[in-house]
Structure 1
């Protein structure tokens, strides 16, 4: 799909989701050769929540993230953001509809300071248009000035403004994850997907990341997160969706999930 705004695409414009559902995953299926990675997965993310997505290794969590964010195309099923079908859209098109994601291993942008790396975050920048650089230089300059001010404000809110002039490649893994989360907020996400946000992060930065996610959620940001650190998930997320062998096993509160025999069996038996 080249243009999600195309009026000729019959998938678009149908507001099928409930008002409080920002992300709907409906009957997603994906196989790689003979391996079924996602098997009729269905769940919803309600606006204003921190929704956890957990499961044993091989349960299909990363595949679902890639399907939702446009990096994989599903064999069948549907993904909606705010009621708009974005199934099979390119990643930048999905992002334009407000679904932003981070990655387990953040990309360190060579030759950029932290401040410059932050400026990659905003969506639909007029400076991305070659034509507007010449036809609307004032609009481009105003946008760049606004983005720079927003980047500085967010760095200060994350208490990492002291890193602004440092080369991004000099940061530790944990610092880079904080910067990536901060950069994602510049895109003003409707829903933010966090892929293993505290994997390989020391306890101090782990706690800081948890504080920032909680703060942003209290300010209105909706999250869907994958994380193997169960303490991190159970302290932050509600509800929690459990995957096993590519399917949704159950959904519930952290207490319900931790006391469910099916979840215990899935983790003890391992995924495929």
Structure 2
């Protein structure tokens, strides 16, 4: 007697789980704002960036993590024009910015912050904010003399934008404070607000909550999420605080020894044995 055939309506079809992690980078993305191909950088005998490639998709918050010495800050410096690569290419919004100066990279839409913000001596917070806007007519000596009205109008607009941005980031009460007198956490908020005055398409944040108290870290996370959701800003973030970055970014790109180890969702990256091994056995700085 043959076995009874199962009722088709009761059969639960087993499907393969969705692939959520890639060996190396995921370069198959439709709308890429930043593409890094085969990037290389040496400091003497030290290989800091070893043929690194990755892509940042427009509209995402992409996390860039890895053990100390993995090459994260070096890659940010290469991408933003503060270091010149020994090989490879960097494109922003389809434009080749390889080896270009930071202001030229910013003109293509990529702006960055630093792990330790530099406090500008002799400036108030408001004055420090006014360093942010790009292509200010007052930077041209010729235009100062030939079209002073346009210079004044631009300066007025920039001051208004600076005040609006300080209010948005809830630090307008610091406007007249000397930039050297505010806390490191407050300076990170100022730097983030100032970066927005440059109207970036892509914002690179280098350890935004390093050295920041937990309350301010929550505030920074809210501002970053708002920039992505409401202002359509794409972000790429280096961060050692795993709870912070895993609850904010998707995808996560993992660097190890100067190149991309894996890329995937936060849950997949967190559970991957290769990532665990890289962190446990990663080199010191």
Q: Same fold (TM over 0.5)?
A: yes
Question: What is the TM-score with the length of structure 1 in the denominator?
Answer: 0.92
Q: What is the match of residue 148 of structure 2? A: 137
Q: What is the match of residue 99 of structure 1? A: 110
Q: What is the match of residue 270 of structure 2? A: 258
Counterpart selection for 1:224 from 236, 254, 264? 236
Q: Distance in 2 between matches of 1:106 and 1:125?
A: 22
Q: What is the match of residue 4 of structure 1? A: none
- Runs (5+) with no aligned partner, structure 1: 1-16
Q: Distance in 1 between matches of 2:38 and 2:239?
A: 23
Q: What is the match of residue 283 of structure 2? A: 271
Q: Distance in 1 between matches of 2:30 and 2:72?
A: 26
Counterpart selection for 2:119 from 94, 97, 108? 108
User: Given that residues 55 and 242 in structure 1 are in contact (C-alpha distance below 8 angstroms), is that contact kept between their aligned partners in structure 2?
Assistant: yes
Matched residue count: 256
Q: What is the match of residue 70 of structure 1? A: 81
Deviation at 1:216, TM superposition (A): 0.6
Q: Distance in 1 between matches of 2:140 and 2:241?
A: 41
Q: What is the match of residue 64 of structure 2? A: 53
Counterpart selection for 1:240 from 248, 252, 269? 252
Over residues 214-254 of structure 1, what are the superposed CA-to-partner deviations in whole Å (9 max), with x where a residue is unaligned? 01111201111101111111011000100000010000010
Q: Distance in 2 between matches of 1:271 and 1:97?
A: 35
User: Given that residues 29 and 55 in structure 2 are in contact (C-alpha distance below 8 angstroms), is that contact kept between their aligned partners in structure 1?
Assistant: no
Larger of the two Rg values belongs to structure:
2
User: Given that residues 244 and 271 in structure 1 are in contact (C-alpha distance below 8 angstroms), is that contact kept between their aligned partners in structure 2?
Assistant: no
Q: Distance in 2 between matches of 1:170 and 1:33?
A: 38
The 3-state SS of whatever aligns with 2:180 is helix
Moved over 2 A (4+): none
- The reply to whether residue 150 of structure 1 matches residue 161 of structure 2 is yes
- Runs (5+) with no aligned partner, structure 2: 1-27
CA RMSD of aligned residues (A): 1.2
